[in-house]
Amino acid sequence: LNAAPVPEWALIAVTVAVAVLLLLFLVCIIKCCCCSKKKPKKEEKVNLLSFSGPTAASLVQPEMEDLECSPEDKNRGKLQYSLEYNLRAQQMKVGVKQAADLKAMDSGGTSDPYVIVYLTSDMKKKYETKVYRKTLNPVFNESFTFQVPHAEVPESTLVMQVYDFNRFAKHDIIGEVRLPLASVNLQRVIEQWSDLAAASKVEQEQLGEVCFSLRYVPSTGKLTVVILEARKLKRMDSHGLSDPFVKVHLILNRKKWKKRKTSVKKNTLSPYFNEAFVFEVPFNQIQNVDLVISVWDHDKVTKNEQIGKLFLGCRATGNQLRHWSDMLSNPRRPIAQWHSLQAVDVVDKALGLKTHLRLPLPTR
């Protein structure tokens, strides 16, 4: 080192740098060797198309036991209620007692609960309890009376929905209790607690059913519609009944053409008509005709209200199309069938009527 032409400190620096490089090189070699020993096997590709049935499902779907309900689906609280049916008066008394451990819907950790009570057989008539502020354990102690004929009780469901009141926004539903009355022993007074469940989708309102027969004679072009009877109609009057009658419309090329109507049956939800109407429809027009059946509630003071309606024809679907097809495939033979009434707006939208236009009667 003393004989070297460079300073001593430079030689020491070079020596240290070489030693560091050698050390780093050794570390890299050791690391690569260890990684090569622990290198996992190449992943196998699974082609789900090569499997069928439950095998493919088991590869992509978790076990049901592994699925846990989210906290939102639990702990909605519970509701105490009572139920009593007076057979002589045909009345059902529903008592909303109290709720406990309700789910907090407000930012402050509380709710402003109230309860809506109704029967699916008469969704037009709904009752509400008072609103109780900032509590998860409200005591209601309110009762409501429904007029329900004994024969209709097994076909109805009692619905009690607990809502959170909000002054400036839409009220949020906390949960509900649905009690099918067919599963309840109404010979005694019932008082019990039930857990609140998540609110189900809004059920389709039961409007009733109507039975009628169709008969078409191609040679004469006569379409005969016989309105036979109806049943389980929606209650439209305050006393729990209706004054129903039926309108029959013929629509040609989406324009109103001819109409008839039955007599009015007073104070009944199951009227019997047995009234026939004959329309002249040329055979070359029968494919372009829609037959509209609508059931109405007559009112002397106010405007008559539609309970429900349906239409048949080549543009119809389901049972309505099947009934129309059976009529055409069995000329001169009356074909009778029951049909469920549908919401008025749904049928009108499907018909797509052209308004403010009159169609001249076709020539014979």
Q: What is the pTM of this model?
A: 0.49
Q: 66-76 burial by CB neighbour count: b if 16+ within 10 A, else e? A: eeeeeeeeeeb
Residue 72 resides in a domain: no
If asked whether residues 226 and 132 sit together in one domain, one would say no
**Cβ-based neighbours of 57, under 8 Å, separated by 6 or more:** none
Query: Is residue 46 one of the residues assigned to a domain?
Result: no
Instruction: Give dist(CA 166, CA 75) in Å, integer.
Output: 21
Whether 323 and 214 share a structural domain: yes
Range of the domain at 305: 209-351
Asked whether residue 104 is assigned to any structural domain, the reply reads yes
pLDDT beyond 50 at 177: yes
Query: Comparing C-alpha atoms, which of 336, 307, 357, 338 is closest to residue 225?
Result: 336
225 in a domain, yes or no?
Answer: yes
**Between 11 and 59, the higher pLDDT residue:** 11
Residues 182 and 236 in one domain: no
Q: What is the pLDDT of residues 8-23, one digit of tens each?
A: 767 777 788 888 888 8
Domains held by the chain: number:
2
Query: Where does the pLDDT of residue 49 fall: very low under 50, low under 70, confident under 90, or very high at 90 and above?
Result: very low
Do the beta carbons of residue 223 and residue 276 sit within 8 Å? no
Same domain flag for 127 and 215:
no
| Least confident range of 43-52, 153-162, 209-218, 352-361 | 43-52
- 121 domain-assigned: yes
CATH number assigned to the domain comprising residue 233? 2.60.40.150
Mean pLDDT value across residues 181-197: 90
The sign one gets for the Cα dihedral 100, 105, 111, 112 is negative
* 186 lies in some domain: yes
Residue 280 and residue 327 in one domain: yes
Q: Per mean pLDDT, which range of 176-180, 188-192, 204-208, 334-338 is the poorest?
A: 204-208
Residue 328 domain-assigned (yes or no): yes
- Check residue 46 and give its pLDDT: 34
Give the pLDDT confidence of 84-143 residue by residue, as tens digits: 999 888 899 999 999 999 998 888 889 999 999 998 877 778 899 999 999 999 999 999
Give the containing element (helix H, strand E) for 5: none
**Which of 169, 195, 221 corresponds to the end of one domain?**
195
Q: Which two tokens stand for residue 12?
A: 């020491």
Same domain, 341 and 300: yes
